[in-house]
Amino acid sequence: MPEDFTRHERFGSNSGQPMTRRDGIAKVTGTATFAADNTRQGLVHAVYVPATIARGHVTALDTEAATHHPGVLGVMTPANRPDLPGDLDAKPTRFSMRIEVLQDDKVRYAGQPIALVMAETLEAATEGARLVRATYEAETPRTRLDDAETFEVETPDFGMPGETVHGDPEAGHAAAAFSIDATYTTAPQYHNAMESHAVVAEWEGDRLVLDTPSQALAMSCEAYAHLFGIPAENVTLRSPYLGGGFGSKAIPTGPLVLAVLAARDLGRPVKLALTRKQMFGPVGHRGQTRQRIRLGADAEGHLTVIDHEALAATSSFETFLESAANASQGLYAANALRSRHKGVRLDIGTPGPMRAPGEASGSAVLECAMDELAEIVDLDPLEFRLRNYAETEPGTGRPYSSKALRDCYDQGAAAFGWADRPRESGTMRDAEGHLVGWGMGTALFAAPMFAAEARATLHADGTATFETSAADMGQGAWTALAQIAADSLGLPMDRVEFRSGHSALPSGGVAGGSAHTATAGGALHAAGGDVLRQLGELAAQQPDSPLFGAGNAQFEARKGRLHIAGEIDRSDALSDILSRAGRVELVGSGNAARGQEVTEQYAMNSHGAVFAEVRIDPDLCQMRVTRLVGAFAAGRIINPRLAESQLLGGMIWGLSFALHEEARHDARTGRIVNADLAEYHVPVNADVQGLEVITVHEDDQHVNALGIKGVGEIAITGTVGAIGNAIRHATGKRIRHFPIRLQDLL
Amino acid sequence: MKNFEFLQPLSAADAVAAWTPDAAYLGGGTNLVDLMKTGAMGPDRVIDITRLPDLDRIETTEDGGLRIGALVRNSDLARDPDLLRAAPMVAEALLAGASGQLRNAATVGGNLMQHTRCPYFMDADAACNRRVPGSGCDARGGAWENSAILGQSAACIATNPSDFCVPLAALGALVDVEGPSGGRTVALEAFHKLPGDTPEAETALEPGELVVALRLPAEAASFAGHSRYLKVRERTSYAFALVSAAAALRMDGGRITEGRLALGSVAARPWRIAEADALLAGAMPDDALFARVAERLLEGAEPSNDTGWKIDLARRTVIRALQMAAAGTPDRLPPLPASPFGPSEVAVHA
């Protein structure tokens, strides 16, 4: 049987295969080395002292007892902190934020580092940190949205505008036959990657070597270089494995920078790893929001307006905030769209990108609001969404690069059995008498690209080496990117060595925005293509080659042979071409980034539909999400096993958002009282049942050369609203805050 | 972590002799070590009792009861055939607590001795009368949502988080202790103390006393056919209870001859009221009766902080636990022990 090269999941012999993680055995047997697993001769341990107030000043630091504790080498404070050459207010990289590195005595949030203790052992450093006594002049902390004045937002994150308007919202409101005006709140959430932030830092003269988990190796090197006044090429950053990142590990954070500073000052390698409690503060979070959403629809249920205002928290010294209202752009075909953001400065660590930043919080509210209006219009929630299906991007009228959302609705609804859903709330019960509810939500996530570079080296024996500094946070970059790389030269996986996770390699860009496979994968594909192009040029000059004279042909590689594209019979072995040319290797390079033109021309998103079933004890009000079915269209799927795993994970994070995650501040001290994983809840296995992911076929000719969108974050969108809507359907109660708590239903 | 002396005595007598006011006995370490890491506790001397002989046994006593050594691990006890026969709701409570890993490490004695999960108790930087007498109570007016509704005082609003102790209290369990002045027995019901003005006195133990065994009287088995533990919480597993209830009934021809009830996570000890139990004796089981019992059990309940909802939830939990107990103990432990969700809810991943 001839190989079928047309089906999207088999563009090569590797891509499209559900290969298991290549690093899986290393991880489950404990041989994978995470940053804090590294040690050095003469290693110093550093532990920082967190502020116990959230706003004010440190008026005195008593380091006497700490300094004399056996094993303690020194205590770094604002008074004696060695010089940090970089301008702390500068933004050397796209995602740079101000950090707290003992630059002054001001306390901006609880948990901010106010001193660093360096010691011969972790135990001595920990006890030294405990022995440092701070005296504060404390002011009343602001930790709630109403604790401070709001301000107009120019750009909530990533340079997006604070306000976006399409059409005439006021006319849309006026034209509405049906409308809703609802206000929702979402709680502060913390990333809590399983692996805490950590660094082992060592200086060799003016060269810095770091073992630290990074979602953006090249960018991190630039940022460290800026801070320490050295060229970026003097920074070596190794990050072969990350125990999760969720957006929090793209840029240096204060505690890690202090450890690097300590290493420079002491002339010894220094290790610092955050405790779980310390993960609630200086390493980013998802800020709380309050969102007012007003929807209008005409008599037939066509949206006349989506008017979405988000008030979101940021810190007192930075600007990043949850761009929640932007989730209402680009999805439903309303005549008018308005997304507005306001900010409020609180005494909290700066929020940052976390698991669909903005999209998750905004989608939760938009999808609940859509159901609120569907009820008033008296339409099935799915029918209401289909009635407002956007064939082109609302507002801009741009075509979608591809959009198989209708298929997602169809396949998801069929798998879930949505057609049997009674319209009335509170009418379904299971055999044990539990309330049963069904809800749905649309999932949407942009398909951006960053910039990446890669190098491909074909060796004389027909094997190849591919290199790019990609980041595997658990999503499977070691595997999926290697599949793309091998396919670019038509080689089986075992003939390709894939090197990654090291800053000396060509930049793999940022593992964020659900864009890593598209971006780093695109660069690897291009690097392989560059090798093929060079091989073709060589072969065309080789009289002994079957490809002799094929000067201007397009080439492709399959099973270790170079073909003229479309000519299955005319080919030459890769290794033969090299050996005839007397070459031991051939190096190609590639890069990937999206062009301005296509970016402006098309709206590019991954799409999906999520269907949720909840069961709720009618008296005790304990809730369980018993089924989640998500159907997603995300372009070409490189590795179905890993993609499905990411989508399952995204839906679980959606469940977590809907029912569990919430950091609770003590309003008097500003401290978070549930800063551990016993009390900051995320779902456990027993909470996760009946998950099903459907990946819907989607060809995209525009999004990038490989047709890849992203699967990393989309599944959290849609899911939160679907669960909120299912709870409404089960109980008749519309809860307008997340997480939804048991006591809300009593 | 503060430096400490680490001793590993080989007899209970040596362990007790090694005790000083700044010492702590160490069993499985699942609570003490966490508190030492956060700085909430800082003993100068840690006395590892896991090498004491004969404390890891479960024995049937002459009168037909069970004697459970203080070092028996929670997971071993939960699967012990004698316990499952005599007191299945105790197994249900054990399996509803913590996680598999923690249950493998945690001991019977340690479970009895575990401290409140009040975040202000666990935060060395917060004022807590229980941890530092006279320092104040930051939990009051704070952000803890699971504080007491019964038996709290001006000084302390902590709850006891144990699942295990709730059915034990209902079943009249006894605690054997060894101390500097010899051995004695304390009723489990009196083991944990309400805070009053001295919340630092968490248990009835005298200085230096060590829990060596737990005894379940023979009569506990007479409730085995109609006893359930019910734990209400927001996460299906690995979460402390918002409210829990142990309900044990002795039934004769559809009539209740004796009933025992205990509530968990509502007070600094498992909450029992003899008058509430008395309402059950001789009555036919029905929802109106159960509502009256719940009302009596919760008499005097008051919210601390914003926990008014817990009173309502406790009432509902008592009624449901009684309904479940009246319906009869299932032949096998349910797949989700102590959960309001039964087996029909268990689905496999697609």
The pLDDT of residue B350 is 31
CB-nearest partner of B142 from A626, A673, A688: A673
The pLDDT of residue B343 is 65
Q: What is the pLDDT of residues A409-440, one digit of tens each?
A: 999 999 999 999 999 999 999 999 999 999 99
Rg (C-alpha) for chain A, rounded Å, is 27
Nearest Cα neighbor of A215 from A249, A176, A177 is A249
Q: Is A67 on the interface with B (CB under 8 A)?
A: no
Taking only residues 602 to 621 of chain A, the set having a beta carbon closer than 8 angstroms to any beta carbon of chain B reads 615, 617, 619-621
Could you give the ipTM of this predicted complex? 0.96
Minimum distance, in Å, between the CA of residue A128 and any CA atom of chain B = 9
Q: What is the pLDDT of residues A505-562, one digit of tens each?
A: 999 999 999 999 999 999 999 999 999 999 999 999 999 999 999 878 889 898 889 9
Q: Average pLDDT for residues A259-273, to the nearest whole number?
A: 98
Residue A12's pLDDT band, with cuts at 50, 70 and 90, is: low
Tell me how far apart the alpha carbons of residues B81 and B334 are, in angstroms, rounded to a whole number.
16
Q: What are phi and psi of B208, to 5 degrees?
A: 85, -10
Q: What is the pLDDT of residues B146-179, one digit of tens each?
A: 999 999 999 999 999 999 999 999 999 999 999 9
Q: Which pair of tokens denotes residue A281?
A: 């503060």
Strand order in the sheet with B174-179: B58-60, B66-69, B210-216, B174-179, B182-187
User: Would you give the end-to-end CA distance of chain B in angstroms?
Assistant: 46
Fold assignment, B221-339: Enolase-like; domain 1 (3.30.390)
Sort strands A289-297 and A56-62 into parallel, antiparallel or unpaired: unpaired
Q: What is the pLDDT of residues A290-310, one digit of tens each?
A: 999 999 999 999 999 999 999
Q: What is the pLDDT of residues B202-230, one digit of tens each?
A: 999 999 999 999 999 999 999 999 999 99
> pLDDT > 70: what percent of chain A?
98
Identity at A265, one-letter amino acid code: D
Q: Is B119 on the interface with A (CB under 8 A)?
A: yes
Q: Do B117 and A679 touch (CB under 8 A)?
A: yes
> Would the pLDDT of B348 be above 70?
no
CA separation, residue A685 to residues A625, A629, B234 (Å): 12, 17, 14
CB-nearest partner of A617 from B312, B319, B340: B340
Minimum distance, in Å, between the CA of residue A743 and any CA atom of chain B = 6
Residue recorded with tokens 């309050």: A290
Is residue A302 within 8 Å of A375, Cβ to Cβ? no
The pLDDT of residue B344 is 52
The pLDDT of residue A596 is 94
Q: What is the pLDDT of residues A144-174, one digit of tens each?
A: 999 999 999 988 777 778 999 999 999 999 9
Q: Say whether A467 is catalytic.
A: no
Q: Which pair of tokens denotes residue B76?
A: 């071993």
Q: DSSP alpha helices (H): ranges in A249-333?
A: 254-266
Tell me how far apart the alpha carbons of residues A302 and A517 are, in angstroms, rounded to a whole number.
37
Q: Which residues on chain B are in Cβ contact (under 8 Å) with A665? A: 143
Q: What is the pLDDT of residues A701-717, one digit of tens each?
A: 999 999 999 999 999 99
Is residue B326 within 8 Å of B216, Cβ to Cβ? no
User: How many C-beta atoms surround the C-beta of residue A382 within 10 A?
Assistant: 20
Residues in CB range of B271: below 8 A, 6 or more apart? B150, B151, B262, B263, B264, B297
Nearest Cα neighbor of B227 from B288, B172, B301 is B172
Which residue ranges does chain B devote to CATH 3.30.43.10? 5-51
> Would the pLDDT of A460 be above 90?
yes
Is residue A737 within 8 Å of A724, Cβ to Cβ? no
Is residue A266 within 8 Å of A118, Cβ to Cβ? yes
Q: Do B234 and A671 touch (CB under 8 A)?
A: no
CB-nearest partner of A666 from B142, B242, B349: B142
The pLDDT of residue B345 is 45
Is residue A515 within 8 Å of A635, Cβ to Cβ? no
Helix (H) or strand (E) holding A459: strand A452-459
Q: Average pLDDT for residues B311-339, to the nearest whole number?
A: 96
> pLDDT > 90: what percent of chain A?
94
Residue B350 DSSP class: -
Q: Average pLDDT for residues B8-19, to the nearest whole number?
A: 97
Taking only residues 424 to 463 of chain A, the set having a beta carbon closer than 8 angstroms to any beta carbon of chain B reads 430-432, 434
Q: Which residues on chain A are in Cβ contact (under 8 Å) with B242? A: 742
Q: Could you tell me how many residues make up chain A? A: 746
Is residue A259 within 8 Å of A280, Cβ to Cβ? no
Minimum distance, in Å, between the CA of residue B123 and any CA atom of chain A = 8
Interface test with B, best of A133, A435, A655, A743 (most B CBs within 10 A): A743
Residue A722's pLDDT band, with cuts at 50, 70 and 90, is: very high
- Which residue of A lies nearest to B145 if distances are taken between CA atoms? A664
CB-nearest partner of A743 from B309, B319, B339: B309
Sort strands A235-238 and A207-211 into parallel, antiparallel or unpaired: parallel
Q: Is B327 on the interface with A (CB under 8 A)?
A: no
Please provide the DSSP assignment of A497-540 as one string: EEE-SBTTSPB---S-TT-HHHHHHHHHHHHHHHHHHHHHHHHH
Q: Which residues on chain B are in Cβ contact (under 8 Å) with A627? A: 347
Alpha carbons within 13 A on the beta-carbon side of B53: 4
The pLDDT of residue A565 is 84
Interface test with B, best of A619, A651, A674 (most B CBs within 10 A): A619
Interface test with B, best of A121, A622, A691 (most B CBs within 10 A): A622
Q: Is A624 on the interface with B (CB under 8 A)?
A: yes
Tell me the three state secondary structure of residue B190: helix
Q: What is the pLDDT of residues A569-624, one digit of tens each?
A: 889 999 999 999 999 999 999 999 999 999 999 999 999 999 999 999 999 999 99
Taking only residues 237 to 256 of chain B, the set having a beta carbon closer than 8 angstroms to any beta carbon of chain A reads 237-240, 242
Is residue B232 within 8 Å of B319, Cβ to Cβ? no
Q: What is the pLDDT of residues A354-399, one digit of tens each?
A: 999 999 999 999 999 999 999 999 999 999 999 999 999 999 999 9
Q: Is A52 on the interface with B (CB under 8 A)?
A: yes
Interface test with A, best of B140, B306, B345, B348 (most A CBs within 10 A): B345
Nearest Cα neighbor of A522 from A507, A538, A505 is A507
Q: Average pLDDT for residues B11-32, to the nearest whole number?
A: 97
Minimum distance, in Å, between the CA of residue A17 and any CA atom of chain B = 20
The pLDDT of residue A161 is 85
Q: Do A626 and B238 touch (CB under 8 A)?
A: no
Q: Average pLDDT for residues A177-204, to the nearest whole number?
A: 98
Which residue ranges does chain B devote to CATH 3.30.390.50? 221-339
> Would the pLDDT of B107 be above 90?
yes
Q: Which residues on chain A are in Cβ contact (under 8 Å) with B320? A: 619-620
Domains of chain A: 8-32+451-593 (3.30.365.10), 358-448+600-744 (3.30.365.10)
Q: What is the pLDDT of residues B251-290, one digit of tens each?
A: 999 999 999 999 999 999 999 999 999 999 999 999 999 9
CB-nearest partner of B1 from A126, A678, A686: A126
Q: Which pair of tokens denotes residue A70?
A: 């056996």
Helix (H) or strand (E) holding A409: helix A405-416
CATH classification of B5-51 is 2.40.30.30, yes or no? no
Sign, CA torsion A199/A203/A209/A214: positive
Q: What is the pLDDT of residues A25-63, one digit of tens each?
A: 999 999 999 999 999 999 999 999 999 999 999 999 999
- Which residue of A lies nearest to B312 if distances are taken between CA atoms? A746
Q: Which residues on chain A are in Cβ contact (under 8 Å) with B349? A: 688-691
Tell me how far apart the alpha carbons of residues A423 and A425 are, in angstroms, rounded to a whole number.
7
